[in-house]
Amino acid sequence: MSELTFFSDFTSLSQKDAGKWVEKCSTLAEAALKDSSHEVHVLANVLLLEQYFNTWRQGLQKEGKELAPVVSITMELLWDYLFGTKTPSEFDSYANCLYACTLEDLVGEELTTEEQNEFYQKYFNHIDFQTIPWVVLSSAAVLMLELVSIYGGKVEFDELKDCDEVSFLVIDDMLNQLNDVCVELAGIECPSCFAKDVIKAMDEALVTPLFQSIVSKVQKSFLDAMNTEPQDYEKLREAYRQYAILPEEFVCDFLDYET
């Protein structure tokens, strides 16, 4: 077959090559956008997060719940950067505290400053954690801190200091998670929890129409980011407010699976 690129026709790939594409997707994304600006990199990531965000919101609405305010606030700050109404220096404290809180939830790392603890109390205390899509928050926090670093601001975490470009790690996190979810949503048989059975089921899920449709949406997000002029970002945002990463019939099962 021809060399894989980010915009390869995923539906035509064999199971083996589909697995290679998913494994290399962030690297392929970097190559596809290597000549694009930081803003285009951020926009591509944000369009993906919007679709994941919308899927989670749809699932919550069916259960009579709303997203935690911190999710909407965080997405709004990223859009403000893209619209040119906020610079990274205006959200550096927020980004550092948000990242600390995502580490506390995801890996149990303790909050170390008074500011971080106050942030947690303000945005996370007494919150129904089902109303928080952590993939969105953790990915958004990384994006924000990468921008803070690029523009010379204060980054309190060594792993995100000295960044010189916006990464595409959000794609890896999102696709790996959705690959796992698609095993159940697409009805792939997984006879046990042994690694060989789980890996086989996840490989089979890669060539299902459901997962292929997800990859198509990922690719479209990048094309839209590359081809949209800044003056049209608001129109693009309005369009993506209607998009979800999964069909509506799966949103409740998705939410149950993830929480």
224 is a domain residue? yes
Q: Tell me the residue range of the domain where 118 lies.
A: 15-258
- Helix, strand, coil percentages in the chain from 3-state DSSP, rounded to 5: 70, 0, 30
* CA angle in degrees (0–180, nearest 5) for 9-25-248: 70
1 is a domain residue? no
Write out the two tokens for 94. 């927020």
How many structural domains does the chain have? 1
- What does the alpha-carbon distance between residue 28 and residue 40 come to, in Å, rounded to a whole number? 15
221, 252, 259, 236: which is closest to 51 by C-alpha? Answer: 221
pLDDT of residue 196: 94
User: Model confidence over 63-94: pLDDT tens digits?
Assistant: 999 999 999 999 999 999 999 999 999 999 99
Whether residue 1 is predicted with pLDDT greater than 80 in this model: the reply is no
214 is a domain residue? yes
Count of Cβ atoms closer than 10 Å to residue 101 Cβ:
24
Whether residue 200 is predicted with pLDDT greater than 70 in this model: the reply is yes
30 is a domain residue? yes
- Residue 50 C-beta-side C-alpha neighbours within 13 Å: 23
25 is a domain residue? yes
Write down the pTM of the prediction. 0.95
| Average pLDDT score over residue span 237-241 | 96
| Average pLDDT score over residue span 198-225 | 97
Write out the two tokens for 208. 């299902």
- What does the alpha-carbon distance between residue 196 and residue 128 come to, in Å, rounded to a whole number? 35
Contact 19, 203 (CB under 8 A): yes
Write out the two tokens for 149. 């670093």
At 189, the amino acid letter reads: E
User: Model confidence over 129-176: pLDDT tens digits?
Assistant: 889 999 899 999 999 999 999 999 999 999 999 999 999 988 998 999
